[in-house]
Amino acid sequence: MEQLQDRKQRARRKAKELVAKMSVEEKASQLLYNSPAIEHLGIQEYNWWNEASHGVARAGTATVFPHAIALAATFNPELLGKIGEAVAAEARAKYNENRKQGDRDIYKGLTFWTPNMNIFRDPHWGRGQETFGEDPYLTSALSCEYIEGLQGNGEFLKTAACAKHFAAHSGPESLRHSFDARVESHDLYETYLPAFEWVIKHTRVAGVMGAYNRLNGVPCCCSEKLMTELLVKKWGFDGYVVSDCGALRDVSEGHHYTDSDVESAALAIKSGCNLNCGWAYDRLIDAYEMDLITEEDLTKAAEKIFTIRCLLGEFEEDTPYGNIPYETVDCREHRSMNLEAARECLVLLKNRDGFLPVRETQVSRIAVVGPNSMNVTALEGNYNGYSSQYITVADGIRQVYGNAEVHVSKGCHLWYESKNEWNGFGDIISDGVAAAAHADMTVLCLGLDSSIEGEDGCVSDEYTIGGDKRDLYLPKTQIRLAEAVCEVCENVVVVLMSGGSLDIGEK
């Protein structure tokens, strides 16, 4: 702990020295997520936005670990710590190469807006897959280990984690830019806040991200109660606070809490929001000239965020962790850890008459049927990187049952109903039924993927509402496929892949 405090004191001193040399305009410019260079101070441009929910995301190849909701099913905090370490190592390896090529674009930095610590209370919520579930205690335990793994315990932060979304954010997605979460005090302090408090007090996480929604009438990213009174004064948080992306524009346009971006920016920075993911903070100079904020407000925020950049070693002559080679990315050791995590996160819902496991000698012909039988998107989740190798359910069956004849059929689309298979949409149940009818065993691969279950604006609204499930049932076309397959094949194993709970009964 003493080493940590010494490290932070040095970083704060260096940040103060840098910020003291900046003009008012330069300080304001650094409070946007895509911070420009200040050449006369030797400050390079830096994009704060990066994601690592289950591996380095959106920046090319990386080890894609099971998504957070699946990792929660392992109930293994130690494993989460090891995964965090692996993700941080890959992040540094990619960062080292990106710097050599002068690539400082979005998703190329070391400030990860991870983990999502919201409570998955409503199973309809599309983003529940990013969380560790509905239990505040489990969320606390797993988040702590993942954060510690990401940040490391060396002289410098290996990467900077960020606890999000503060607070009481758990859908509905379609209303998130205007929604007011009305939460009773006992529920707030027993359900929605404990994980954040635990993480802040036990890990010294680098960042906290404010939520889109209002909490009891006040937009979270403009809430002095949340960001100053609770985080800083009561819990002792000494990191940086960032808005969710576009959340400050929502303050006037969605919540109608202020009349303009200028007012929203002024209110947010005074309330303790140091960094803006979005656009409102490009009006900070207007707010300053209108005497809505002071230079001290800008200075305080800039010192917070430059402390983090100093802790990451950005301004050191020898870049910390600069010797981590690119070969670390999606390496054999990390793939082995990924396999261990995948095995631990699988959940066996029912095993009638001890049917599983099925030995290779018991079957000679296997049908793998369903829209998720060869679906790579279902393997990736959301906020994902891209693996060097994808092993679908059908691929895995072929590997394990090498002597069996394996026949694969999509059977139907994830949700779209049609009697024709055309342009990726269709109902080809007859083909799936034929495969099942001629097999000793059918592996029926059902469920959803992130094309229809996920974040508002990132998914189709045909089956969901802004990424949230309309109900908890499987799409009708999958139910019809499942019923037809079970009519013709006596031995059926159902594999469900989804980000949230599903009711596999009939509608």
Active site residues: 244
Residues forming beta bridges with residue 313, ordered by sequence position: none
Contact predicate 281/31, CB 8 Å = yes
Comparing C-alpha atoms, which of 216, 225, 148 is closest to residue 183?
A: 216
Q: CA neighbours within 13 Å on the CB side: how many for 299? A: 11
Distance CA 338, CA 330 (A): 10
Give 50's strand partners: 112
Question: How far is residue 291's CA from residue 315's CA, in Å, rounded to a whole number?
Answer: 33
Cα(114)–Cα(130) distance, integer angstroms: 9
What is the number of other CB atoms lying within 10 angstroms of the CB of residue 228? 17
Contact 214, 256 (CB under 8 A): no
Q: Which residue has the tokens 């808005």?
A: 243
Percent of the chain as helix, strand, coil, to the nearest 5: 45, 15, 45
**Cβ neighbours around 415 below 10 Å, total:** 19
Query: What does the longest C-alpha to C-alpha distance in the chain come to?
Result: 79
